[in-house]
Chain A
C-alpha cells in the first residue's frame, strides 16, 4: 500500500494536470498486477466494499479520542479520512507496509462483525500517510484531485490509445483490470465486452453566448429545447432494459415506469422528466423520484416519469455514432413512432431562420422545464465526451436577487477550513409590521478564491452565534444571487426555494435593508 499512499501524497502536491497524469503513468509502470488495477478501481470509484460504512470509522475513532476534540478537528479539516489519519493514536513505532491487494481481499472477505476489528487493527499497523490511503479506499469519495476521467486519460496515454477507446470499454470492465493492462501493454487483444446492456459514454455540449453564436452559420445547426431534467440513456437488449445517468449509474430501479414497459434493442439518449398531461413539471418534482429504490404506486401516479429522446447511439446492433445527427434523428423518429409509448416522445426541433429570431424565441421561453436551447451541428457524429464545436448549450439568462447572508458553514474538499457554504435570506413583513429576514436559499459556488477569503474573513469578524459547525452572522453582507427558477417549497421558512442558486456578485456596497423582499421573489414562481 506504500506505493499507493505515496501516489496519493504526490497527487496532492501536483497542481498541474499533466503532472498528475505523469504520476499515474509512473505508478502504472512501476506497480504490478493486480495492485495497480485495484488502485485504478479506488481512484475511479469502482471498488465495492459492502461493509464499508462511514459509521464504522466514526465508531472506531470515537473509541480512541475525545468526542468534542474529534468533532472540532473534523470540522476544521473537512475530510473524515484525513482527520482520522491524523488523530489515530500511534501505538507503535515499527510500522509495517501492507500489500494493497491483500488489504482489499481481507476487507471484501470480512463480514459485518469482523470488519470493525479488521479496520482498527490495520490502522494500528500503518503510518499516517498509509492510514489516509487506507481510509480513503474504505470510504470512497476520494477528493484527491483525480477524477475518473483523468485516470482514463492516463491509462490511454500509458497504452498509447485514444481516450475514447478506453471510455468505450470502461463500463464492460471489472477490477482489477488485468485484461485492460494486458491490452495497454500490447500483450493481448482488446478485452471483449459481451454485455449488450452496458453504459455508453455520452456526448456533451459546451456553453455558448450570443456573441459567439454570431460567428457561426445558423444553417449548420438544429435547435431543440434544453429540458430541465436529468440526462440519461436507455439501453435495451430485446428482453431487458437499463437506464443510466450521465455518469454511468444505473438508475433504472427508481424508474420502473420507464424500464419495465419498454422493449427494444439499441441505445437511445434523452432527458428524464416528470410530465403531467403533456406539461413538464419543475425539476423539484423529478427529484422526488430520484434515489427511490422501490417507488410506491402513489408516487408513480403523482410524479409520472417521462423520457424525451433526442439521439440514438445504436439501432438494434448497428452502431450509429459515426452517422450524422440528421441520419440518427430520422432513425430515432421511426423508433419513437414504432414504440408508441405514452412515456416516451421525441424532442422536436425548433424552426428558425436566423440567430436573432432564435434569440427572441429563447427570451420568450419561461415555461417550467426549459433551461434554454441546445444547438447541434447537423452533420455531427456522436462523439463521447465534450468535444469542442459540434454541440452547444445556450442557457436562459439567470434570474437574480439581492439576498442577505445569514449563516455560513465550513466547506469540504478544496474549501475546507474556509466558510464557503452560505445560507442567505430576503426580507418579509411580520404580523407586527417589523421586517424580518427569512432564508431563501443556499449556495456554495460562483465566487473566486480571493472572494472566498474575503467572505471568510467577514464571517469570522461578524459572528453572532454558533450552532455546531454553523455560524450565524450579523445582518450586513449582501450577495447578488443568480438562480434558474423559484418554486414553492415547505423546506424553507420563506415558503420558496431557488433552483441552482449561485453567488453572482458580492455587493459589499449595498446596505442590507435594501436587499430584495420575499414578495418579489414569489412573483417569479
Chain B
C-alpha cells in the first residue's frame, strides 16, 4: 500500500493527486480539479474540468457564471467515480450546502480531504460523516481550546430576546453570504420566528438558490424595496462588510449583530463594533476538531489552514502523527 505522501502532494497550485493528475480546491486555474464546496477561496474560476457535488456546481455557476468551469462532473454524496486509477467519492462535510469531504482511494491507501467542516446539526445541509482513513486532511480555523462554540439555539434566543427588548430598532446581522446567512434564517424559523426577513442583494441571490435546492427559508424580502419605516423592529441580514460601510447608513440606529465563531473573543467583538455577538460558526470548534482527528483513526493528520500548531500539538499528545501543510490562499475571515 503506497504511503499517502507519495501520491498526494502540496504544490503552489494547491493539493495535487499525482496518479489521478488532478488538484483539490486549487487556488489557480488548472485542467482538472475536485472542489469541496462553493466558498470563493475553495471554488475558483476557470478550471477545465471539475468534479463536485451538484449543489457546489450550482453555487459556482451562480457566483462566477454558467461557463466558469468548462466541463463539470456532478457527483452525489456516496457515489463512486474512478479516474486514472483513483477511486473518488464525496461525503457530507456539514459546512454549507453541498460541502463535501473528498475520499480518495489509491491502491488500498485512503485519504480524506475534508475541506471546511463542522460536526453539529445544521438545518441547511447534510451532517458530517466520519470516514476512517490512512491520512485525514483537516482545516484548523478554530483550533484553539478557547474556541468552544455554544449551542446555536441559545445564540438565536439571544437574538430573539434582543428583538423583543428593542422593538424600535432594526437588527442588522452580518453573516457570510453563502451558508451562514441561510443557516441563521433556518434557525430563526425553527425557533418560531415567522416575520419576513429582509436581505441584502448579495444574500438574496444565494437564498434563491437554496430554495431551489429545497431548503425552506420562509418569507424573504429585499432591503432595497423596503423603506426605513418598514424595517423598524425587523431583522436584516447582510454580508459582514456591508454592515460597516455606507450601505448600512440607510437604517436608523440599527443594532449591529455579527454571526461568527470569531465572536467568542471579546476583542474581536470590540474591533468590529459589534453590539450583539452571535457565536454561530460553520467551522468545527476545538472539541469538534479534536474529536474528529481521533475518530477518523488515521495514523496521519495533515493540517491545512488556521491555527495548525495547536491541533498538531494535540494530535501528537494522542500519539497521532500530524504535520502542517502550510497551504496558502485560504481565507479565514469569511467565517
B267 interface residue (CB < 8 Å to A): yes
Q: Chain B residues with Cβ under 8 A from A65's Cβ?
A: 145
CB–CB B275/A413 < 8 A? no
- Considering the chains assembled together, what is the distance between the CA atoms of A449 and B328 in angstroms? 23
Q: Which of B148, B268, B270, B276 has the most CB of A within 10 A?
A: B270
CB–CB B309/A72 < 8 A? yes
A14 interface residue (CB < 8 Å to B): yes
A87 CB, min distance to chain B CBs, angstroms: 6
Q: Interface-forming stretch among B61-69, B215-223, B310-318?
A: B310-318
CB–CB B267/A413 < 8 A? yes
Interface string of A78-100 (1 = CB under 8 A from B): 11001100110000000000000
CB–CB A69/B144 < 8 A? yes
CB–CB A76/B313 < 8 A? no
CB–CB B277/A417 < 8 A? no
- Considering the chains assembled together, what is the distance between the CA atoms of A122 and B84 in angstroms? 62
- Considering the chains assembled together, what is the distance between the CA atoms of A507 and B294 in angstroms? 47
CB–CB A79/B267 < 8 A? yes
CB–CB A461/B274 < 8 A? no
B132 interface residue (CB < 8 Å to A): no
A66 interface residue (CB < 8 Å to B): yes
- Considering the chains assembled together, what is the distance between the CA atoms of A65 and B264 in angstroms? 19
Residue of B nearest to A10 (CB): B275
CB–CB B264/A86 < 8 A? yes
Given contacts A82-B265, A86-B148, A87-B146, contact A72 B310 (CB under 8 A): yes
B271 interface residue (CB < 8 Å to A): yes
Q: Chain A residues with Cβ under 8 A from B264's Cβ?
A: 86
Residue of A nearest to B275 (CB): A13
B74 interface residue (CB < 8 Å to A): no
CB–CB B328/A13 < 8 A? no
Q: Which of B146, B264, B265, B271 has the most CB of A within 10 A?
A: B146
A3 CB, min distance to chain B CBs, angstroms: 17
- Considering the chains assembled together, what is the distance between the CA atoms of A68 and B266 in angstroms? 22
CB–CB A13/B276 < 8 A? yes
CB–CB A66/B265 < 8 A? no
A359 interface residue (CB < 8 Å to B): no
Q: Chain B residues with Cβ under 8 A from A368's Cβ?
A: none
Residue of B nearest to A143 (CB): B267
CB–CB A73/B269 < 8 A? no
Q: Chain A residues with Cβ under 8 A from B276's Cβ?
A: 13
B189 interface residue (CB < 8 Å to A): no
B196 interface residue (CB < 8 Å to A): no
Q: Chain B residues with Cβ under 8 A from A82's Cβ?
A: 265-267
Given contacts A15-B273, A69-B310, contact A417 B146 (CB under 8 A): no
CB–CB A77/B277 < 8 A? no
Q: Chain A residues with Cβ under 8 A from B267's Cβ?
A: 77-79, 82, 413-417
Residue of B nearest to A68 (CB): B313
- Considering the chains assembled together, what is the distance between the CA atoms of A77 and B262 in angstroms? 11
Q: Chain A residues with Cβ under 8 A from B144's Cβ?
A: 69, 72-73, 76
Q: Chain B residues with Cβ under 8 A from A73's Cβ?
A: 144-146, 310
- Residue of B268, B313, B317, B328 touching A417 (CB-CB under 8 A): B268
Q: Which of B264, B267, B274, B310 has the most CB of A within 10 A?
A: B267
CB–CB A15/B146 < 8 A? no
Residue of B nearest to A132 (CB): B266
Q: Chain A residues with Cβ under 8 A from B314's Cβ?
A: 66, 69
A136 CB, min distance to chain B CBs, angstroms: 11
Interface string of B296-317 (1 = CB under 8 A from A): 0000000000010110011001
A384 interface residue (CB < 8 Å to B): no
A279 CB, min distance to chain B CBs, angstroms: 45
A145 interface residue (CB < 8 Å to B): yes
Residue of B nearest to A411 (CB): B267
Given contacts A72-B310, A86-B264, contact A12 B269 (CB under 8 A): yes
Q: Provide 8 A-B residue pairs closer than 8 Å at the C-beta atoms, listed in order of the A residue.
A: A12-B270, A13-B269, A66-B313, A72-B144, A77-B267, A86-B146, A416-B265, A417-B267
Give the 8 A-B residue pairs with the shortest CB-CB distance, closest first.
A86-B146, A15-B273, A416-B267, A72-B310, A73-B146, A13-B275, A73-B144, A12-B266
Beyond contacts A73-B144, A82-B266: 7 other A-B pairs, Cβ-Cβ < 8 A, are A13-B276, A65-B145, A72-B309, A77-B146, A82-B265, A87-B145, A414-B271
